[in-house]
Structure 1
Amino acid sequence: MSAFRNALAASLIGLASASASLAQTVPPETRDSELVRVEHPDWSHDAVLYQINLRQFTSEGSIAAAEAELPRLAELGVDILWLMPVQPIGVAERKGELGSPYSISDYRAVNPELGTMEDMRAFIDAAHELGFHVILDWVANHSAWDNPLIEAHPDWYSRDWRGDMQPPPGTDWSDVADFDYGNADLRDYMAESMAFWVREVGFDGFRCDVAGFVPIDFWERVRAEFDAIRPVFMLAEWEQRDLHRDAFDATYAWTWNNTMHDVAMGHADAGALRGHYFYEEANSWPRDAYRMRYTSNHDQNSWEGTQFERFGDALEAAIILSFTGSGIPLIYNGQEAGNQDRLAFFQRDPIEWREHPLNALFRDLVDLRHANSALWAGAAGAPMHNIENSHESSVFSFLRQDSRNAVLTAINFSAAPVQTVLHEGPHQGLYRDWQTGESIRFEADTMLELRPWEGRVFIAIDE
């Protein structure tokens, strides 16, 4: 799957750039109201996502064992738990020992390898008691080859030129059969199946797999139906502005991740990030569209490399940017333990849990985000303002300020130490260093020292 998703992300980068000129025709003051009509749930504004790969999350690999870990996640401070698919996995054409969780053989049941429906409800009840919200990874585009729908409703599936059922065209996903959303009955079945997990099981929304492979009007329909039940959160595995209009709260920031990787590997400098935020996103995306920033997830970890392979010495800098820049951040299970393994995708490969400095970094960043509304997602937070500095190729500096607080971030995206001056701008004033607690006043000629790949964050102090 990795090669396909990488190629897909690359093509979408080009589409996003091409759409900038179209976005510029939309007046800024109307862009959100015209392009984002989704009402984000109140509990999502300051939220941090945490992805749980149930198969690898605990040594038992079960829902009940994952429930026992909820107090630890509460200490970490994360808010929205994203569970990878929990349904039974197909056997026909299965890949690997246990198959892909994205090959669904029954949309309204729980995989017995993980536990029971009662275990699932108990997990959600326990999560809600601790203040979490829980979203389920949903696979609407395709099913397992031995899903009963294959026999009962063969007209629900797309066909190749021979007239045979097929995997999703253009992919190597040989273990699944592609649906045909031209069929109204399929749409009804899928919508009701999703509503079942919200209404009967207690989920608070969905992460939708390859959301761009499914018609937007289907997602807009189900979002309206879910909102009639209760507020939900919807994350699309896709990078497309129109998905935010009436369907999704958040979309994958693939472009951000790839740009950050290029900077970390020395293929680009800090200017690429400046261009990403202040040219591409400012022109192509409405501000109230939540863009999911991530330094790892299940696909990237298994197929592209660990967080350490992907970002090297720039990892902590990338994590800090994912929390202090615009968007909604994601932590993939095991990142906080410094997981150094590419977790196997089709078999059991439990995470090796241990104490690691990244745990404290993530915990402190979660607290920072919760405490400073300027850092919240979308229109609930503040936009990023570029702060010019004397080392623009190395240092990315920006301010996020609202009526309640202001947060200044400066990150050295280079392997050399720098002494940079943050030039005259709206950031000038008294701040507290987020990590050391020391006070610093920024004037037009204040010198700031940054170690290689160091990110420094400052919180404004009332004078």
Structure 2
Amino acid sequence: MKKIILSFIAIGILFSCGKTKEENVIAEAETEIKEEVKEELQPISDTVMENAIIYEANIRQYSEEGSFNAFTKDIPVLKELGVKVLWLMPIYPISTTKSKGSLGSYYAISDYTKVNPEFGTIEDFRTLVKTAHDNDIYVILDWVANHTGWDHIWLKEHPEYYTKDTEGNITHTVDTDWTDVADLNYDNTAMREQMKNDMIYWLKEEGVDGFRCDVAGMVPVDFWNRTVTELKKIKPVFMLAEGWEPELLENAFDMGYGWDTHHKMNDIAQGKSNVSEWDKRMVQIDTMYAKDDILMNFTSNHDENSWNGTVKERMGDAAEVFAALSYVAPGMPLIYSGQEYDMDKRLLFFEKDTIIKKKNKFFPLYKKLGKLKNTNPALHGGKNAASYTRIITSDDNKVLAFARKKDNHEVVFVANLTKEPVKFTTEYKGEFTNYLSGDNFEIKPGQEYELAAWDYWILIKK
């Protein structure tokens, strides 16, 4: 009898154990499903723009492979840097007729609705976009509306879409050396409509979130205004103009290039100007632009790097302080491919080149600056930006000091923008934390402070 009872107990235990394992398997499966169902990235908004960092991706040169897939693997790394907007340099097929170099210019496009097979397939591109969205990063495409490559189908099917000389020949853009492209004629309404439809394709079919528009000031503003109105009927979009003209930002574009700001940085770094020129630039911005206009801050981009020199060539030992300034000044900071890896070479433009991805000084700096930009409202630089107030010092031609404030948050930036040590005083006061060192820091009226050449403080109000 004992044997029978024990047998029933054993069977019960086995049954019970089996049921528990089954329940565990179901529970684990449910957990996996929940983990796989990630919340869809919400459309881009003014809120996103406030604390965003933009990254310019040069797919051809980013890796040895020069492919979408090689770049996609590193998208989580961009998230570490606080990147919110990913700008892809032109990804379309490149014209071979009249092309420059062995690979041609990204900006000589032969088809607006295809991808360059050099980079991969449309499926590879879709994976890139999905991966970016999964990492809370928006994707904008470089759009070249001023001209096409000489292989574009429009040249054969619609020559009336193009600008012609007095003899009736299609020409490249006047007063440029862009001989590898054919200039488009914006007096032609049919061409305008097709251009708009090609942009719509990328929003509707491929899920991109906006466009960076090449030489935007060379295309009629009314085209941009009408086209962007139509794009926004599909979904909210982020529009970046390669241009400084205030009229571009009145309706069509969210952000323009801070070209003059960049030039002031270069001039100060090279000893051609001093801090007074920065102050004049800040006044100029307030005078020229509306409060909700955004300007992009940068120490490099694809044009500057390839044609005017690396950051080290142009800024030398001042590279770090101007990188920091691009984050804490009003606007949105840009990282160009390779800057996070201390890149110090001019990337070839018409040939294959490669960025060496080795973390050194700038990766941890950009990571820390990115965290501050993403999280502190005092650095908001969008359509509802934090205030900017110049702090007076005893040596304002050498020392740049200002406060950014919003919603009881305050960030103070103090920098020596010269190649020599400087001593100074200020009447400003407050208790802060030195963001980069973590040390307590108090500013006292009348107290003398000293900064080494190109040194700076980012101070967070306690």
* TM-score, normalisation: structure 2: 0.89
The superposition leaves residues 204-226 of structure 1 with CA deviations (integer Å, 9 ceiling, x where unpaired) of 10000000111111111121122
Which residues in structure 2 correspond to 1:349-360 (within 5 Å)?
A: 349-360=353-364
Work out the CA distance in 1 between the residues paired with 2:332 and 2:240: 11
The superposition leaves residues 361-416 of structure 1 with CA deviations (integer Å, 9 ceiling, x where unpaired) of 11111111112112111342212101000111110100011123000001100111
Contact 2:49 2:383 in 1 (8 A): no
Work out the CA distance in 2 between the residues paired with 1:164 and 1:42: 48
Does residue 122 of structure 2 align to residue 117 of structure 1? yes
Work out the CA distance in 1 between the residues paired with 2:119 and 2:51: 31
Structure 1 unaligned spans of 5+: 1-38
Which residues in structure 2 correspond to 1:215-254 (within 5 Å)?
A: 215-254=220-259
The superposition leaves residues 311-349 of structure 1 with CA deviations (integer Å, 9 ceiling, x where unpaired) of 111111111111001111100010011111100000110
RMSD after superposition: 1.2
Contact 2:46 2:383 in 1 (8 A): no
Work out the CA distance in 2 between the residues paired with 1:47 and 1:193: 27
Q: Which runs of 4+ in 1 moved over 3 A?
A: none
SS of equivalent to 2:205: helix
> Number of residue pairs matched?
419
* Farther off after superposition, 445-454 or 42-51: 445-454
C-alpha displacement of 1:285: 1.4
38, 42, 46: which one aligns with 2:47: 42
* Farther off after superposition, 189-198 or 447-456: 447-456
Work out the CA distance in 2 between the residues paired with 1:432 and 1:325: 19
Contact 1:41 1:231 in 2 (8 A): no
Counterpart position of 1:414 = 418
Which residues in structure 2 correspond to 1:234-383 (within 5 Å)?
A: 234-277=239-282, 279-383=283-387
Contact 1:103 1:143 in 2 (8 A): yes
C-alpha displacement of 1:283: 1.1
Work out the CA distance in 2 between the residues paired with 1:50 and 1:276: 24
SS of equivalent to 1:398: strand
Specify the structure having the higher radius of gyration (Cα).
2
The superposition leaves residues 255-278 of structure 1 with CA deviations (integer Å, 9 ceiling, x where unpaired) of 01111111000001111111111x
Does residue 214 of structure 2 align to residue 213 of structure 1? no
Counterpart position of 2:438 = 437
Contact 1:90 1:145 in 2 (8 A): yes
SS of equivalent to 1:292: strand
Q: Which amino acid aligns with 1:116?
A: T
Contact 1:386 1:399 in 2 (8 A): yes
SS of equivalent to 1:201: coil
Counterpart position of 2:408 = 404
Structure 2 unaligned spans of 5+: 1-43
The verdict on how the C-alpha distance between 1:256 and 1:164 changes in structure 2, with shifts beyond 3 A counting, is: same
Work out the CA distance in 1 between the residues paired with 2:235 and 2:47: 12
C-alpha displacement of 1:40: 5.3
Which residues in structure 2 correspond to 1:11-30 (within 5 Å)?
A: none
The verdict on how the C-alpha distance between 1:250 and 1:40 changes in structure 2, with shifts beyond 3 A counting, is: farther
The superposition leaves residues 13-53 of structure 1 with CA deviations (integer Å, 9 ceiling, x where unpaired) of xxxxxxxxxxxxxxxxxxxxxxxxxx953322210000000
69, 75, 78: which one aligns with 1:70: 75
Q: Which amino acid aligns with 2:434?
A: D
Identical residues among aligned pairs (%): 39
Counterpart position of 1:87 = 92
Work out the CA distance in 1 between the residues paired with 2:407 and 2:73: 40
Work out the CA distance in 1 between the residues paired with 2:292 and 2:448: 34
56, 59, 66: which one aligns with 1:54: 59
The superposition leaves residues 279-332 of structure 1 with CA deviations (integer Å, 9 ceiling, x where unpaired) of 211211122111011101111100000011111111111111110011111000
125, 142, 148: which one aligns with 1:143: 148
